[in-house]
Structure 1
């Protein structure tokens, strides 16, 4: 091997490394566009069954079916926004008139009530907080600043929303648009297998995302009814937020539970801790635990087994590994990504024994 061949090999390797680095840099710079496309893909998968129903059962033309589907999805989104707007406007008005010192005194008063309640039960929890002085370190002025940051981000949100809706429309109108874009980079000999994989993935993930909507709906109903019975203010909004957080496996339910209990406490700051707040916290905890039991032992197993055709233990391990490797994003995309990988493996490596066992139900 002469020096010229070695030099060419080194230059080729450097060129490949530089090309990969430039590709990742390019993807990093357009990460917002990638996020828009990813959200549009999810919306198109959710809307796909509606489009097929309108086309096949009601005999709508494709374009009309897509427009009706988009209007339905937009109407659903607008309805959710209208659900939150009164609460946001009210809280924004309250924050604009907020007396920071009074807020601090109210929270410190609640803290003293909690301490007094547990002292009656011969439980001394005050000692653990004395050295930290955490209440005096809280910067309550951050609340109006946070509200201003949210308002300033509405412009970017509007651009993102328009982009997502525009891309979603064409993904629904031409269901093979995304597929054809990827097939450009695939050899001719692999196009047939990849096309079959895309069709299978779209069917499975459409059922999966529709199943998630039903999962959220079931939790939302349980939480709403439970919180209304307990007498929690803004029960519908709190129930929806906590049900929506359940989309993030394992972490989401914990955050939702903490949020539900926190909002229950803060909505009753002027009332006695032992007579009102503590009893409401207990009943809200019962509502939350009941909803999680129904979800974990009813909704989730049905969704996983019927939609992505995977064993619950298999799904648990996949989510756990994805969460450890990629954090919260890994938890969210673990199941769709794993389902897509299984379909591709079955299409191209169907003779492999391990693949046969993993994809037995597909």
Structure 2
């Protein structure tokens, strides 16, 4: 091997490395666009069964079916948003009417009752709050900055919503658009295998996201009934937030339960702890745990049993690994990404024994 060949190899390796760095830098710069495409893809996967239903059963043409589906999606999100209006309005009124001395007295009394009941050392909650600078939230000087941040964020949200809906329209209208766009990265001889894998991924993920919506809806209904029975303020909005927490596997229900118990406590702040607050919290906690058991042993096996065609242990390990690598976001996207990896591996790496074992049900 002469010096020219070595120099050419080094230059080629450097060029490839520079190309990869530039590609990563470019992807980093357009990350918001990639997020829009990702959200639009999820909407198209979730809306695909509805579009097919409107076309086959109600005889809608393709464009009308897509427009109707997007209107339903928009209506769903607007309905969810309106559920938060009462709780935001009420909290705003409470902040405006807040009596710091009364809150201090209520917290100290609740703290004393909890300490006496559980026979633990009393904590100075007011001093703890002051040390965490939480009271700065009520500083009027921060209001202009909060308004400016809200307006700028609101503009970005509007742009994002328009972009997602615009992309979703064309992905729903032309079901082959995304496949054809990605097909340019495949070799000519691998195009058929690539299309087979992509269609399989689209079908599995479409069923998965529809099942996820159904799971959230069932939890929302059950949480609402529980909170209405025990008179928690803004039960519908609180139930929706707790249900959405379940999008995060395993730790999401824990956060949702803590959120429900905190709001149930603040709804009864000032009442007797032993006679009112503790019994109500206990009943709510028991009800919440029963709902989670129903979800874990009835909802999830029935809804997700055949959607991604993976063993529960596989799903658990995939969620654990993605969570360790990418945090909360990894927990949320673990199942879709693992499903896509399995389908691609089956199509292109089926000669390996481990791939055959893991993908035998696909």
Q: Same fold (TM over 0.5)?
A: yes
- The 3 A distance-change label for structure 1 pair 131 and 299 is closer
Decide which moves more: 243-252 or 98-107: 98-107
SS in 2 for 1:307: coil
SS in 2 for 1:153: helix
Separation (CA, whole Å) in 2 of partners of 1:88 and 1:22: 44
The residue number in structure 2 matching 1:314 is 314
Separation (CA, whole Å) in 2 of partners of 1:291 and 1:150: 36
> Residue 124 of structure 1: which of 105, 120, 126 is its match?
120
Correspondence 1:59 to 2:59: yes
- The 3 A distance-change label for structure 1 pair 268 and 42 is same
* 1:29-48 correspondence runs (5 A): 29-48=29-48
The residue number in structure 1 matching 2:225 is 225
Q: Are the counterparts in 2 of residues 261 and 285 from structure 1 also a CA contact under 8 Å?
A: yes
SS in 2 for 1:175: coil
Separation (CA, whole Å) in 2 of partners of 1:236 and 1:309: 33
- The 3 A distance-change label for structure 1 pair 157 and 102 is farther
Separation (CA, whole Å) in 1 of partners of 2:295 and 2:45: 23
The residue number in structure 2 matching 1:359 is 359
- The 3 A distance-change label for structure 1 pair 143 and 64 is farther
Q: Are the counterparts in 2 of residues 315 and 335 from structure 1 also a CA contact under 8 Å?
A: yes
- The 3 A distance-change label for structure 1 pair 61 and 108 is same
- The 3 A distance-change label for structure 1 pair 135 and 105 is farther
Correspondence 1:68 to 2:86: no
Q: Are the counterparts in 1 of residues 108 and 124 from structure 2 also a CA contact under 8 Å?
A: no
The residue number in structure 2 matching 1:134 is 128
Aligned residues: 356
* 1:211-360 correspondence runs (5 A): 211-360=211-360
Separation (CA, whole Å) in 2 of partners of 1:173 and 1:97: 51
SS in 2 for 1:226: helix
Structure 2 segments unaligned to the other structure (5+ residues): none
Displacement of 1:174 in angstroms is 1.0
Decide which moves more: 129-138 or 268-277: 129-138
Structure 1 segments unaligned to the other structure (5+ residues): none
- CA offsets, 1:174-204, max 9 Å, x none? 1111111111121111111111111111111
- CA offsets, 1:137-185, max 9 Å, x none? 1322226759645565222211111111111111111111111111112
- The 3 A distance-change label for structure 1 pair 166 and 105 is farther
- CA offsets, 1:114-141, max 9 Å, x none? 22333xxxx1232xx4699523313222
Provide the TM-score with structure 2 as the length reference: 0.92
Q: Are the counterparts in 1 of residues 104 and 126 from structure 2 also a CA contact under 8 Å?
A: no
Separation (CA, whole Å) in 1 of partners of 2:7 and 2:349: 38
Q: Are the counterparts in 1 of residues 345 and 355 from structure 2 also a CA contact under 8 Å?
A: yes
Separation (CA, whole Å) in 2 of partners of 1:225 and 1:132: 34
Decide which moves more: 47-56 or 299-308: 299-308
Q: CA RMSD in A?
A: 2.1
Q: Are the counterparts in 2 of residues 232 and 264 from structure 1 also a CA contact under 8 Å?
A: yes
Q: Are the counterparts in 2 of residues 249 and 332 from structure 1 also a CA contact under 8 Å?
A: yes
